[in-house]
């Protein structure tokens, strides 16, 4: 946003916000498993954008910045003193309607129980539609690592669901 005039900065920010808020919110929810924490994180991430002087070279650069910033911000939250020592007494809530995915509570619950390295890759691949190559670039890991995480994540999810979504043959 370095070269944007002050009067155009609001319009510029509004456009970026509209393009990216859903993705940022969904990623925050996948990491934090909590509506309130996800909403707070979204706000913090967009404040980081306002405080920075970043200018995006294109929409892919913009999207990559948001995904990487979201990932790092959520990991910082999860490492914080409060999160580490907090005991979640309530059961995991259903996916809020604003996320826009029709998953059963059981599938979502099991997906969110996976380690972060699997759930984030599964989320980016299946929900955001990124290719293995794109995820590799976004997360800074080798393509073979991403493919392994996708495969392992699928197997772990399938196992925890007890084969519920397998085709059954007579």
- At 110-128, the pLDDT tens digits run 777 888 889 888 888 887 8
Q: Record the pTM.
A: 0.58
**Angle, alpha carbons 86-23-17 (nearest 5°):** 105
- At 13-29, the pLDDT tens digits run 889 999 999 999 999 99
Specify the number of domains making up the chain: 2
Residue ending a domain, among 53, 72, 97, is 97
Q: Structural domain of residue 10, as residue ranges?
A: 1-97
Total Cβ atoms within 10 A of residue 45? 22
Same domain, 12 and 77: yes
Residue ending a domain, among 49, 65, 97, is 97
Alpha helices in 56-141 (DSSP H): 59-79, 81-85, 105-113, 116-122, 132-139
Same domain, 5 and 75: yes
* Rounded distance between C-alpha atoms, residue 50 and residue 155, angstroms: 40
Record the tokens describing residue 137, joined without a space: 């670039």
Same domain, 73 and 52: yes
Average pLDDT over the chain, rounded to an integer: 78
- At 37-83, the pLDDT tens digits run 999 999 999 999 988 888 899 999 999 999 999 999 999 988 876 65
Same domain, 117 and 91: no
170 belongs to a structural domain: no
């Amino acid at each position: 946003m370095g070269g944007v005039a002050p009067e155009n900065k609001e319009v510029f920010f509004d456009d970026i916000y509209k393009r990216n808020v859903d993705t940022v919110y969904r990623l925050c929810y996948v990491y934090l498993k909590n509506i309130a924490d996800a909403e707070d994180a979204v706000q913090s991430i967009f404040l980081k954008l306002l405080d920075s002087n970043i200018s995006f070279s294109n929409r892919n650069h913009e999207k990559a910045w948001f995904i990487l910033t979201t990932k790092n911000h959520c990991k910082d939250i999860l490492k914080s003193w409060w999160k580490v020592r907090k005991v979640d007494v309530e059961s995991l809530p259903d996916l809020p309607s604003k996320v826009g995915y029709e998953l059963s509570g059981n599938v979502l619950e099991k997906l969110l129980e996976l380690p972060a390295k699997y759930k984030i890759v599964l989320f980016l691949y299946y929900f955001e539609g990124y290719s293995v190559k794109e995820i590799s670039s976004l997360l800074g890991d080798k393509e073979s690592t991403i493919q392994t995480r996708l495969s392992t994540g699928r197997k772990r999810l399938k196992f925890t669901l007890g084969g519920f979504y397998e085709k059954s043959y007579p």
